[in-house]
Amino acid sequence: MNPDSDAPHLLVDIRDGVAVLTLNRPERLNALSRPMIDAAIATLERCVDDAAVGCIVVTGAGRGFCAGGDVTAMGAGSAAAELTLEQKVDRQRSIHRVSGLLRAMPKVSIAAINGACAGAGLGIALACDLRVAADTARLTTAFAKVGFSGDFGITWPLVRMLGDAKAKELLLLSEVLSAQQALELGLVNRVLAADALMPSALDIAARIARGPRVAYRYMKQNAEAAATEGYQQLLDREAFTQVYTGTTADHREGVAAFIEKREPRFRGG
């Protein structure tokens, strides 16, 4: 349970094919806690196998998305102080599974960035496939301000999205970006009025949930591979995934819908 209140650290709502995960420590700008992280990992793992879930939306309660690690708790000390270095590293790897799942899971994820998004919170947002931000959102790496090097996978997408020099600038200087600046850099896909953020995010998520899920799965895998594989390797990979998705019922439905000039009714197989 939440030590700050009686509310759980993570709220989960699944409806119309969309799982909404709400980080729920608004009094701390949704700073990460172990209960929140454990609940998020367990929920994402369930979503992978749940046929009722076609898309995942991650957002924050109140005025923040996620302020990253709980610096106040760090200052107070914790049981982790008694762990060996190896045990601490293993613990860190275990909590990084949040970002790992969002990045590698076959289902599409969307970060609805409703406010402050910093440090590990930015790492989690960047692990999602799409990011939509309220026009009031602010984004920052933040790690340098507390003497950390960065975690939750933040370095990988920053370098690939922005290049070496700009990624280092954001990490080293920890400057705060407005939502519009983040959009211009390509860190977010869309910027929306604050009151339109969740309706728009849910609309996009519902559209994806109704889409060809097998094709989406391989689109994610191909995009991931493109960061490290050569062009010829990607051509070979696409040869397989294109032929394979061409055997699905969703492909046949898409072709039929095109010929009949109607919207396709995908079933996810």
Please give the DSSP secondary-structure letter assigned to residue 175.
P
pLDDT for the residue numbered 243 = 97
Mean pLDDT, the chain, integer: 94
pLDDT for the residue numbered 75 = 56
- Kindly give, in sequence order, each residue whose CB lies less than 8 Å from that of residue 258, ignoring residues fewer than 6 positions away: 264
pLDDT at 3 over 80: no
* Band of pLDDT at residue 2, cut at 50, 70 and 90: very low
In 3D space, the residue among 221, 223, 215 whose CA is nearest the CA of residue 269 turns out to be 215
pLDDT for the residue numbered 4 = 53
In 3D space, the residue among 101, 22, 7 whose CA is nearest the CA of residue 58 turns out to be 22
CA 59, 64, 67, 72 torsion: positive or negative? negative
Record the pTM: 0.93
pLDDT at 74 over 70: no
Q: How far apart are CA 3 and CA 7, in angstroms?
A: 9
CA 93, 95, 99, 102 torsion: positive or negative? positive
**Helices 231-245 + 213-226 axis angle, to 10:** 170
Based on its alpha-carbon atoms, the radius of gyration of the chain, rounded to whole angstroms, reads 19
pLDDT for the residue numbered 77 = 58
Mean pLDDT along residues 34-52: 97
pLDDT for the residue numbered 106 = 97
Q: What is the pLDDT of residues 176-199, one digit of tens each?
A: 999 999 999 999 999 999 999 999
pLDDT for the residue numbered 7 = 83
- With pLDDT > 70 as the criterion, what percentage of the chain qualifies? 95
> Which tokens go with 131?
């990011």
CA 81, 87, 91, 92 torsion: positive or negative? positive
Establish how many alpha carbons lie within 13 A of residue 163's alpha carbon, considering only the half-sphere containing its beta carbon. 3
* Band of pLDDT at residue 6, cut at 50, 70 and 90: low
* Band of pLDDT at residue 1, cut at 50, 70 and 90: very low
Query: Is residue 133 packed enough to be buried (19+ CB in 10 Å), middle (13-18) or exposed (0-12)?
Result: buried
Q: Which residue type does 206 have? A: A
Q: How far apart are CA 85 and CA 181, in angstroms?
A: 38
Q: What is the pLDDT of residues 132-147, one digit of tens each?
A: 999 999 999 999 999 9
pLDDT for the residue numbered 71 = 76
Q: How far apart are CA 235 and CA 177, in angstroms?
A: 37
The region of weakest confidence among 78-92, 104-118, 215-229 is 78-92
pLDDT at 259 over 50: yes
Counted residue by residue, the chain has a size of 269
* Band of pLDDT at residue 269, cut at 50, 70 and 90: confident
> Which tokens go with 14?
């699944």
Given a contact cutoff of 8 angstroms between Cβ atoms, the answer to whether 123 and 154 are in contact is yes
